[in-house]
């Protein structure tokens, strides 16, 4: 279930908004130029077949938003040293506050992840689940948490083929808010 939680950026002691209603989530985020949509979920999606499974939706978003490069990323839990190392590496890469010169559009075909948007004096935590498409506008300060045991397939959209390039702020704000695992436990 998708969850939006909004706090003051001073910390999570006061919850300003908490909702699982997709329409409320879309309305709240739209005020900040963030697009949120729901697509139908296709069972059995992997990084290898996601672009084909969602071909028409991907084409529509790419045409509307001008994306020229789309890929899919997958993290699937496994009881291996390789998975554990990759999980730590990938989680740490995205966990610090950063911006991008490009929009960051992600569709969750399977699993979940949390985008934390630091907009003005608030933090918007969007716990995305399968079926969610979130578009974070260029230069929006944010971070992403996939949890300690990442399990997801996401489709990523780019305006060029350079892919993901983060401009890190150096702030420690991400350490002050509930993690993916803590948010998931409270749902």
Mean pLDDT by 10 residues, the chain (187 residues): 97 98 98 97 97 98 94 96 95 93 94 98 98 96 97 92 79 97 94
Q: What is the pLDDT of residue 163?
A: 62
What kind and span of H or E run contains 5? strand 3-8
Q: CB neighbours of 22 closer than 8 A, spacing ≥ 6?
A: 2, 36, 38
Q: What is the pLDDT of residue 6?
A: 98
Q: What is the pLDDT of residue 167?
A: 87
Structure tokens at 175: 């350490």
What kind and span of H or E run contains 59? helix 55-65
**What is the CB neighbour count within 10 angstroms for residue 4?**
22
Q: What is the pLDDT of residue 165?
A: 74
Task: Report CA 129 to chain centroid distance, whole Å.
Answer: 9
Phi, psi of 61 (to 5 degrees): -65, -45
d(CA 86, CA 75): 9
d(CA 131, CA 1): 10
Tens digit of each residue's pLDDT (9 = 90 or more) over 95-131: 999 999 889 899 999 999 999 999 999 999 999 999 9
Structure tokens at 40: 């139908």
State the residue for tokens 């045409």. 63
């Amino acid at each position: 279930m998708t969850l939006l939680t909004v706090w003051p950026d001073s910390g999570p002691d006061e919850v300003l908004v908490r909702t699982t209603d997709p329409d409320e989530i879309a309305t709240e985020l739209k005020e900040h130029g963030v697009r949120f949509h729901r697509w139908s979920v296709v069972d059995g999606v992997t990084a290898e077949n996601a672009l084909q499974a969602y071909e028409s939706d991907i084409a529509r978003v790419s045409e509307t938003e001008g994306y020229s490069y789309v890929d899919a990323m997958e993290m699937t839990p496994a009881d291996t040293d390789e998975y554990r190392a990759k999980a730590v590496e990938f989680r740490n890469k995205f966990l610090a506050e950063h911006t991008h010169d490009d929009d960051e559009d992600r569709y969750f075909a399977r699993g979940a992840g949390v985008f934390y948007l630091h907009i003005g004096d608030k933090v918007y935590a969007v716990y995305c689940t399968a079926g969610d498409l979130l578009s974070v506008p260029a230069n929006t300060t944010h971070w992403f948490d996939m949890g300690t045991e990442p399990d997801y397939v996401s489709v990523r959209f780019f305006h060029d083929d350079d892919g993901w390039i983060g401009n890190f702020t150096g702030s420690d704000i991400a350490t002050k808010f509930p993690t993916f695992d803590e948010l998931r436990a409270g749902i």
